[in-house]
């Protein structure tokens, strides 16, 4: 049996039922939004434990076996790692492609997209002024993020969905990833930053228009620019 505090975590011997599901993460989309979407698309009831930074520091962090989130709780067992969680839920609800070649393509795209975003992490510790300059450089033609996104766009050419002819876990994850650029919460990165990548915008807007995605965001907070963009497109 897994411990929920401290370091004594062991995988459970038996797969827990997909019941009493609780997803723990900050209120923002980031690493939990794809799981929230997948659980909803799959009709799996879950408690969305979405907390503030203050609540995280005061109580929630202590409750997590690795001191990190997102954490999916199934009954009293915790599971970590957003990618693994997404793949598991997707498999359970039929949104994980069965063909290994489709998974090769999908995982490649997801990790390539994540690599494109990664240089931005290093800017978080900079001063306000340095941050803006560094991010503008990363996003300008020839910059590391620009180049990553440019390469990513070549994977989307001619495709509506990333793999197969239907929405899969990969579209959900990349849709959420793209939204991270347009929320306007990264100083130096304006919501218009993807205008230079029309293929990326077209793909994002196509996924946004899916029935399940529209349903999920229909009542979203109008002050939440990232989620509004996920609903209305960019």
SS3 94: coil
Member of 18, 23, 38, 69 binding ligand GSH (CB under 6 A): 69
Nearer to ligand GSH, 56 or 161 (CB): 56
Looking at residue 177, the DSSP 8-state letter turns out to be: H
Return the bridge partners of 77, or none.
74
Shortest Å distance, C-beta 78 to ligand GSH: 12
User: Does residue 31 belong to the site contacting ligand GSH (CB under 6 A)?
Assistant: yes
Shortest Å distance, C-beta 149 to ligand GSH: 20
Nearer to ligand GSH, 70 or 177 (CB): 70
Window contacting ligand GSH (CB under 6 A); options: 75-83, 88-96, 151-159, 194-202: 75-83
Chain centre to alpha carbon of residue 6 = 27
User: Does residue 97 belong to the site contacting ligand GSH (CB under 6 A)?
Assistant: no
Nearer to ligand GSH, 31 or 36 (CB): 31
Start-to-end CA distance of the chain, whole Å, equals 46
Member of 20, 48, 81, 112 binding ligand GSH (CB under 6 A): 81
Q: Is the Cβ–Cβ distance between 172 and 37 less than 8 Å?
A: yes
Return the bridge partners of 21, or none.
46, 74
Interacting residues with ligand GSH between 37 and 66 (CB under 6 A):
61
User: Does residue 34 belong to the site contacting ligand GSH (CB under 6 A)?
Assistant: no
Q: Is the Cβ–Cβ distance between 25 and 70 less than 8 Å?
A: yes
User: Does residue 78 belong to the site contacting ligand GSH (CB under 6 A)?
Assistant: no
Cα gap 113→115, rounded to integer Å: 5
Question: Angle 225-232/169-182 helices, nearest 10 degrees?
Answer: 130
Binding site for ligand GSH (CB under 6 A): 30-31, 61, 68-70, 80-82
């Amino acid at each position: 049996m897994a411990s929920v505090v401290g370091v004594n975590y062991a995988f459970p011997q038996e797969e827990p039922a997909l019941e009493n599901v609780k997803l723990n993460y900050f209120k923002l989309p980031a690493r939990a939004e794809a799981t929230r979407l997948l659980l909803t698309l799959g009709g799996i009831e879950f408690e969305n434990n979405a907390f503030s930074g203050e609540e995280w520091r005061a109580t929630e962090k202590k409750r997590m076996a690795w001191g990190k989130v997102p954490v999916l709780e199934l009954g009293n067992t915790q599971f970590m790692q957003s990618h693994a969680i997404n793949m598991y839920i997707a498999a359970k609800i039929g949104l994980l492609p069965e063909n290994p070649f489709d998974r090769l393509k999908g995982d490649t795209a997801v990790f390539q997209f994540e690599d494109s975003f990664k240089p931005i992490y290093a800017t978080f510790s900079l001063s306000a002024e340095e941050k803006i300059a560094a991010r503008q450089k990363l996003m300008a033609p020839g910059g590391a993020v620009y180049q990553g996104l440019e390469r990513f766009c070549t994977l989307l050419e001619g495709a509506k969905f990333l793999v197969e002819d239907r929405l899969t876990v990969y579209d959900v994850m990349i849709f959420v990833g793209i939204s991270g650029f347009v929320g306007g919460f990264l100083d130096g990165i304006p919501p218009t930053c993807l205008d230079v990548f029309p293929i990326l915008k077209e793909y994002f807007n196509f996924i946004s228009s899916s029935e399940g995605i529209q349903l999920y965001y229909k009542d979203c907070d109008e002050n939440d620019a990232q989620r509004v963009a996920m609903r209305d497109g960019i």
